[in-house]
Structure 1
Amino acid sequence: MKTSPSQLYDRLVLGKPVATLLLVFLITAFFGWFVPALKIDISADSLVLENDEDLRYYNSIRARYGSDDYLILTYTPRGRLFEKETLDDLRNLRDSLNSIERVESVISILDVPLVHSPPMSLEELEQRVRKLADPDTNLALAERELRESPLYRNRLMNPHGDTTAMQLIFRRDPTYQRLHEGRNKLREKRLKSELTSEEARELIRLTNEFKRYKAGLMAQEKADITNIRTIMDRHRDRAELHLGGKPMIVADMADFVRHDIRVFGLGVIAVLALLLVIAFRQPRWVILPLLTALATAVVTMGFLGLAGWRLTVVSSNFLALLLIFVLSLTIHLIVRYRELHVQNPDGEQRYLVRETVRSKFVPCFYMVITTMVAFGSLVVSGVRPVIDFGWIMGISLTVSLIFTFTLFPAAIMLLKPGKPHKPRDLTTAVTALFPPLIERHGNLVLGVAMLAVVLGIIGISKLTVENRFIDHFHESTEIYQGVYLIDRELGGTTPLDVVIDAPAAFLEEKQEPFDDEEDDDLFDDTDFEGEAGITGSSYWFNVFKVDEVDAIQDYLDGIVETGKVLSLSTTMEVLKQVNGGELPDNFTLALLYKRLPDEIKQALITPYLAEDGNQLRFSVRVYESDVNLKRQDLLQRIRLHLTRELGLSDDQVHLSGILVLYNNMLQSLFRSQILSLGFVFLAIFLMFILLFRSVKLALIALVPNLVAVPLVLGLMGGLDIPLDFMTITIAAIAIGIGVDDTIHYVHRFGEEVAVDWDYQAAVSRSHDSIGRAMYYTTVTITIGFSILVLSKFVPTIYFGILTAFAMLIALVANFTVLPVLLVRLKPYGKKASIET
């Protein structure tokens, strides 16, 4: 005779609880060994779109003109900046920073070339580089030059002359670059064509090796940041110091993630334990759910560590979500078990546990599946941390379901039933409020629900993705303070590169062979052949293009959102000042290009002009703290002005930098939100049809979530809370978890209707039974999500509050709108056999 799955479960799990618990313990211990291997990845690469064309261009520009992986250290002395004691302290600070192994150079007011302190001629520039510490440097003139020079104003010194900045540039790591480029080349090829089996293996190898190497590099970077801060602390008695820049933000965000994981885990466990004590007042119903949750967490974290997955700022809250979800599953089992125990006070433990599992497995299974679908929808976002978060939660939910129906029932089997506890508490009073409301004021319930949806849609129309990165952090954090100070005093924070190519026709003409080569001999006798001729061979580096370059510079400099702008125009302005107010001619420019000392050339030309002179780079810094900053609008305005007003062709203009990549990620969120919501609703609707075997009932079951989602998104729009890589997940999670209550309610309602076919009486009985579990789980989930307000990352706080709000709305909708529709539309008919 064939054994059914339920019989097999009864024999293996309930019949052998000790063996089951031993197996669970061994599995937990095995994966627990790998928990320390779980790493954190908060690199800038994790916050951009994976297949972004602009990312590839950004990498090529960094390779040509230099990386933006540098730190900015601001120094505001207690006394005057140019006092001897202050300069000595600044020199000691610079030397200490230079002694750090990975620091390639420190650029400060002590190190940059000075050309007006006193004024130098072009001939002198070719011979030497004057710096602040040189004996013949005039300090008063140097102070003025550093405050007023187009090269250094709002870059190394603020206009008031009381704050200076140091730029710490880290050494390029050749191994990191090799692995990064090799992996990216194969990824790009995979997008265009299918990889060979050998290439696929090589991609896997490079990806894994890159992850390992990057983890070590990030650990070293964190140690360097700690070392830098230790050095800064030794100088705080003489000056106020702040640190900014991408490496520091990455290191601090990694600390935030570690803090959140620790606080969320301990906080959720403590709060939920208290809730279980209040709700059930029995040690077993506190200890067993917590053991189940902890075992699930250990196995999931160990699996992620074993598989080499990385946690990011988005997935840092997965542990809190996992604990909340496991406890909500076990609460459904506890409530059902206690209900059966009241109905069968003399029932054997095995019978009570078997019936609990039998009645709850199907709704819990679909509850997990629908939630997995909701999280799975996040993979369409294109943002790697959001994609990984979806997969991590899918794994977590799978482990949750397995352990909830193995560890928890097996542990109960080792305990005696004890005395039944008939519930008489606040929960009963709360759930009893709704059936009379449904019976007497059904129209009002539906009217309020429709009004809520309309208000939500109005709010959604105001939803935006524009947000200030600085607002992701509390004002007390060094990230916020550093960004704000650099914005206010030193010309902006966020890098934007405006790259202008020579016209395509010019480049094509340069590639054609010359028809007449007789004139080539004219320059055979010169001692600067080749590079000296750059003013004749390049499109941009000559006196004829100065006005056009200046026009671009003036426009970019005049935009309200932009701070410091550096380019070839700045270079020409400096050369003009050195040359007595006149621009050098082409011959002199060519000579200077060849003969300038490397140090001056690196400061004046190399960062802003390609070697062949056919590409310009305008280095722009944008005020990240500007409350009116709208990145997409800014980028569109720049492109339109350069093409329509200044006559450049569209293929000449390229916008690059962190600002562009971050904006692309934000703009993708709208599309991702629409796709994910559409996918979730469609998938859950199909599952409802499969579960309830009725299209009508499936449509009814969707309605409560059609109320909750517009309301929470509308609230975000109404309160000007933007979509970001955290809040984009709220709607999908709200549906995935909110639909759990819908499944349990409809499942129980079908059983109650079959008793006497009195729909209104079925509502009362459902509220009194499954309603209690729904109330407990929602309160648990809501308070659990509220723990996220303890995060150091502001989007996580919004995520916690808004998701908690969505859970409450979903509960109210399931307690009101859902039963009203069930009573009025009678999806089960007036008399039928109900499958349970």
Structure 2
Amino acid sequence: MKILPLSLYDRLVLGKPLATLLLVLLITGFFGWFIPDLKIDISADSLALENDQDLRYYRSIRARYGSDDYLIVTYTPRKRLFETETLDDLRELRDSLAAIERVESVISILDVPLVQSPPMSLSELEQRIRTLADPDTNLALAERELRESPLYRNRLVGAEGDTTALQVNFRRDPKYEHLRKSRDALRERELEAELTTEELQELERLSDEFRRYSANLIAQEKADIALIRSILDQYRDRAELHLGGVPMIVADMMDFVRHDVRVFGMAVIAILTLLLIIAFRQPRWVILPLLTALATGVATMGFLGLAGWQITVVSANFLALLLIFVLSLTIHLVVRYREVHTQNPDAEQRYLVRETVSSKFIPCFYMVITTMVAFGSLVVSGIRPVIDFGWIMGISLTAALVFTFTLFPAALMLLKPGTPHNQRDLTGVITALFPRLIERHGNLVLGAATLAMAFGVLGISRLTVENRFIDNFKESTEIYQGMNLIDRKLGGTTPLDVVIDAPADFLENEQESAGKEGDDEFWDDADVQGEAGITGTSYWFNIFKVDEVGDIHRYLHGLDEVGKVLSLSSTMEVLKQINGGQLPDNFSLAVLYKRLPDDVKRVLISPYLSADGNQLRFALRVYESDVNLRRQALLEKIRQHLTGELGLAPSQVHLTGMLVLYNNMLQSLFRSQILTLGAVFLAILLMFVLLFRSVRLALIALVPNLIAVPLVLGLMGGLNIPLDIMTITIAAISIGIGVDDTIHYVHRFGEELAVDWDYQAAVRRSHGSIGRAMYYTTVTITIGFSVLALSEFIPTIYFGLLTAFAMLIALVANFTVLPLLLEKLKPYGKMGIMKQR
């Protein structure tokens, strides 16, 4: 132990075990007090890219045309949808939902304007609107209109007419918007120039306040959704009901995170307790590792709560990982202690513990540092939950190292040595098989390793980030069922907005004209408004642009991936129906626009046209369940067609919506995977050079991980498992944990080689000593990661199983390829190249 002088450690920790335990207990209790402050964050911020310009544009479009942050209730009655009894039941459901305090409105087939039930004229439309609830509405015509209208077909009513949707809109929270905008303004300024001390303090204050307020708001939304579900339960005997929408997904994912944190922690403790009992068969070697792991977990969770860190769907498994790492460290100490005790059966406890710590601290220290480097590399992802996960695991690993080398040895000092353990067991038999394998079939081992790497590289070439959001959830979840039903019967799930601006030269001319008008004292705006109105000043809202708008609409609607499309073209189709199949002229359009009731305008025009008439919005919904969906290709295809075939300028075309934000994150995953791999391998190579003091030995030590990581990524590519916010971390974690065994093996091999400078004998002795600890820790880690298969979140299941697979491959590579290369290449030479530690 050179980082901390052994004599000082011996005096402070081993010499005063009770004082050490008391200090650890106080630290654990202090931080444990703050565990209730550890919050869960599943907000949009937690799932978006850092500094994503598309996110900023998305928010501006939401502010202009309305939010897509609403709930959808699908209603499929046992009887016919348009029977009086069914409509009465639907009305009762709508009123119950509308009575919730934070619900601003509920839109259903009972509330939307009807213009063909019976047919209305343009002048009638200006004076009143008719809905399904009106007594003079023709029910048969209303059913036909709702099923065939371009505004309502596959939006409020399914094509078969058996399913309808209710849109539940929540009230906007002005304080939330104010805090977010104020915080984002300072964040943007920080990107452009250095903030002053006062501005940095204000940014920190706003960020903390926004985080707290957002958490309270999400908690309130969760309570509202629980209330909505209780209301829906009252109608399930009369209809099949499903709940969908972003707020519901957020609420359910919060439950998934809580479930994962609770279940993973308990399951890992239970399973690892059983493993410790089977492996060591002595109470002390079960209780002490578990006590160390639990204390580390409590202190770390409390520290995160005190520091204001939040748990996301990505970092929900941090506690399980932390417990696994602590037990891995303590198992190395246990195995080494038992080995020293066997060699020195009459030694006193202080000597045994000191020898254990002195021989294991350096490899354990580098083991933790390399794992921290692997997790730290996740910060280049640009994805907030992945970045936070990297930092959280760095903090957790630091705590793991400190507690393992304080609590565990101090507690061990209070116990008597007992009787030395017999080293002959099944584990020894298993580890002894590998030296014989490489002695007899060394070339075969190298050939198999080469084939594994080739398979991995081939599979990596097929790796993709394209995945369906719906596939993140089990079919039994309401998220999956709701999205699937909306996809099949109500025109698609994922929102995509295509926003078209007027040409730049038109907007410049408008600004110049506005300036001249403002300077002319004889200009009479009212007269012009009366003659032309919006059709005279708008680029898009006039009969000259109807065909162009229609061309864009028809192209978008014709895309296989796209379901429902709503736009100004949909409105024009409705106006044609009202006007006897003819489009109204510009004057009639201007008058209609001016005189339409606000509630009708909010349905027909405002969602698709800016107030000045110079920006169009095409509201698309994409089939999330489409197995052929390729988001990036779809976005590129739309942009190329609009700017190529239809002749729009690139500056006019903007694509936004949840689909764009999600796609940005997916594309970043692929880029960051390459950056992550490169950064991790380079950093660990440098660590190996520092530790082993030999470039040659460092390169040899890197080889096992060059087998395990490509193989697991290649397996993902071969099985068509896409990269996502969870599986993106597999490579970094696999390297970080995989090198742990490498470090311990090479460190012990150097010690064994110094005995007689017989490479083959050193391999056998290394397998018989450190091989046991490697076997125990890998089994522990593998089973620990396999516990993640209990998650409700599919990416977490993949993450757990694939990482467990990578750990097994890394163990086999460290047991075969690493010693084989050490034997063949003889990096220590005949006299040795590094001092024994």
Give the whole-Å Cα distance in 2 for the aligned partners of 1:348 and 1:338.
13
Residue of structure 2 in register with 1:583 after alignment: 583
Q: 1:686-697, aligned counterparts within 5 Å?
A: 686-697=686-697
CA gap of 1:109–1:824, structure 2 versus 1, over 3 A, is: same
1:36 aligns with 2:11: no
Q: AA paired with 2:361?
A: F
Q: AA paired with 2:824?
A: R
- How many residues are matched? 834
Residue of structure 2 in register with 1:469 after alignment: 469
Residue of structure 1 in register with 2:409 after alignment: 409
Q: AA paired with 1:71?
A: L
Give the whole-Å Cα distance in 2 for the aligned partners of 1:107 and 1:531.
35
Q: AA paired with 1:509?
A: N
- 1:619-658 CA distances to partner (integer Å, 9 max, x unpaired)? 0000001111000000000001101111101110000000
1:605 aligns with 2:626: no
User: Secondary structure, in 3 states, of the residue corresponding to 2:112?
Assistant: coil
User: Unpaired runs of 5+ in structure 2?
Assistant: none
Residue of structure 2 in register with 1:747 after alignment: 747
Q: AA paired with 1:231?
A: I
- 1:281-333 CA distances to partner (integer Å, 9 max, x unpaired)? 00000011000000000000000111111100000000110000000000000
Which stretch shifts more, 719-728 or 196-205? 196-205
User: Secondary structure, in 3 states, of the residue corresponding to 2:331?
Assistant: helix
How far off its partner does 1:517 sit? 7.7
Q: 1:423-502, aligned counterparts within 5 Å?
A: 423-502=423-502
User: Secondary structure, in 3 states, of the residue corresponding to 1:264?
Assistant: helix
CA gap of 1:280–1:4, structure 2 versus 1, over 3 A, is: closer
User: Secondary structure, in 3 states, of the residue corresponding to 1:96?
Assistant: helix
User: Secondary structure, in 3 states, of the residue corresponding to 1:769?
Assistant: helix
Contact 1:126 1:597 in 2 (8 A): yes
- 1:221-268 CA distances to partner (integer Å, 9 max, x unpaired)? 000000000000011111010000000000000000000111100000
Contact 1:442 1:820 in 2 (8 A): yes
Residue of structure 2 in register with 1:364 after alignment: 364
User: Secondary structure, in 3 states, of the residue corresponding to 1:73?
Assistant: strand
User: Unpaired runs of 5+ in structure 1?
Assistant: none
Contact 1:267 1:787 in 2 (8 A): yes
TM-score, with length taken from structure 1 = 0.98
1:104 aligns with 2:104: yes
Contact 2:716 2:722 in 1 (8 A): yes
Q: 1:634-653, aligned counterparts within 5 Å?
A: 634-653=634-653
Residue of structure 2 in register with 1:288 after alignment: 288
TM-score, with length taken from structure 2 = 0.98
1:511 aligns with 2:515: no
Residue of structure 1 in register with 2:241 after alignment: 241
Q: AA paired with 1:815?
A: F
Q: AA paired with 1:440?
A: R
How far off its partner does 1:531 sit? 9.9
Residue of structure 1 in register with 2:627 after alignment: 627
How far off its partner does 1:522 sit? 12
Q: AA paired with 1:108?
A: S
Give the whole-Å Cα distance in 2 for the aligned partners of 1:32 and 1:658.
38
Give the whole-Å Cα distance in 2 for the aligned partners of 1:794 and 1:749.
41
Give the whole-Å Cα distance in 2 for the aligned partners of 1:16 and 1:348.
16
How far off its partner does 1:389 sit? 0.3
Give the whole-Å Cα distance in 1 for the aligned partners of 2:740 and 2:490.
52
Give the whole-Å Cα distance in 2 for the aligned partners of 1:468 and 1:210.
31
Give the whole-Å Cα distance in 1 for the aligned partners of 2:624 and 2:3.
66
Contact 2:531 2:587 in 1 (8 A): no
Give the whole-Å Cα distance in 2 for the aligned partners of 1:375 and 1:694.
25
Q: 1:336-355, aligned counterparts within 5 Å?
A: 336-355=336-355
Give the whole-Å Cα distance in 2 for the aligned partners of 1:584 and 1:426.
88
Give the whole-Å Cα distance in 2 for the aligned partners of 1:401 and 1:158.
59
Give the whole-Å Cα distance in 1 for the aligned partners of 2:5 and 2:399.
19
Residue of structure 1 in register with 2:73 after alignment: 73
Q: 1:146-185, aligned counterparts within 5 Å?
A: 146-185=146-185
How far off its partner does 1:516 sit? 9.3
CA gap of 1:705–1:131, structure 2 versus 1, over 3 A, is: same
Give the whole-Å Cα distance in 2 for the aligned partners of 1:620 and 1:535.
25
Residue of structure 2 in register with 1:83 after alignment: 83
1:201 aligns with 2:204: no
Residue of structure 1 in register with 2:218 after alignment: 218
Give the whole-Å Cα distance in 2 for the aligned partners of 1:768 and 1:125.
89
Give the whole-Å Cα distance in 2 for the aligned partners of 1:649 and 1:242.
42
How far off its partner does 1:6 sit? 1.1
Contact 2:372 2:736 in 1 (8 A): yes
1:663 aligns with 2:663: yes
Give the whole-Å Cα distance in 1 for the aligned partners of 2:513 and 2:153.
45
Give the whole-Å Cα distance in 2 for the aligned partners of 1:347 and 1:826.
36
CA gap of 1:815–1:806, structure 2 versus 1, over 3 A, is: same
Give the whole-Å Cα distance in 2 for the aligned partners of 1:628 and 1:494.
15
- 1:95-121 CA distances to partner (integer Å, 9 max, x unpaired)? 010011111100000110100000000
Give the whole-Å Cα distance in 2 for the aligned partners of 1:513 and 1:619.
31
Q: AA paired with 1:345?
A: P
How far off its partner does 1:835 sit? 2.3
Residue of structure 1 in register with 2:93 after alignment: 93
- 1:44-91 CA distances to partner (integer Å, 9 max, x unpaired)? 221110211111111110111111100000000010111121111111
User: Secondary structure, in 3 states, of the residue corresponding to 1:512?
Assistant: helix
Contact 1:788 1:800 in 2 (8 A): yes
Residue of structure 2 in register with 1:777 after alignment: 777
CA gap of 1:749–1:515, structure 2 versus 1, over 3 A, is: closer
Q: AA paired with 1:323?
A: L
User: Secondary structure, in 3 states, of the residue corresponding to 1:648?
Assistant: coil
- Over the aligned positions, Cα root-mean-square deviation in angstroms equals 1.6
Residue of structure 2 in register with 1:27 after alignment: 27
User: Secondary structure, in 3 states, of the residue corresponding to 1:365?
Assistant: helix
User: Secondary structure, in 3 states, of the residue corresponding to 2:644?
Assistant: helix
Give the whole-Å Cα distance in 2 for the aligned partners of 1:642 and 1:665.
24
- 1:318-358 CA distances to partner (integer Å, 9 max, x unpaired)? 01100000000000000000001110110100000000000
User: Secondary structure, in 3 states, of the residue corresponding to 1:237?
Assistant: coil
Give the whole-Å Cα distance in 2 for the aligned partners of 1:532 and 1:79.
50
User: Secondary structure, in 3 states, of the residue corresponding to 2:168?
Assistant: strand
Q: AA paired with 1:399?
A: A
Contact 2:501 2:652 in 1 (8 A): yes
Give the whole-Å Cα distance in 1 for the aligned partners of 2:531 and 2:610.
13
1:801 aligns with 2:801: yes
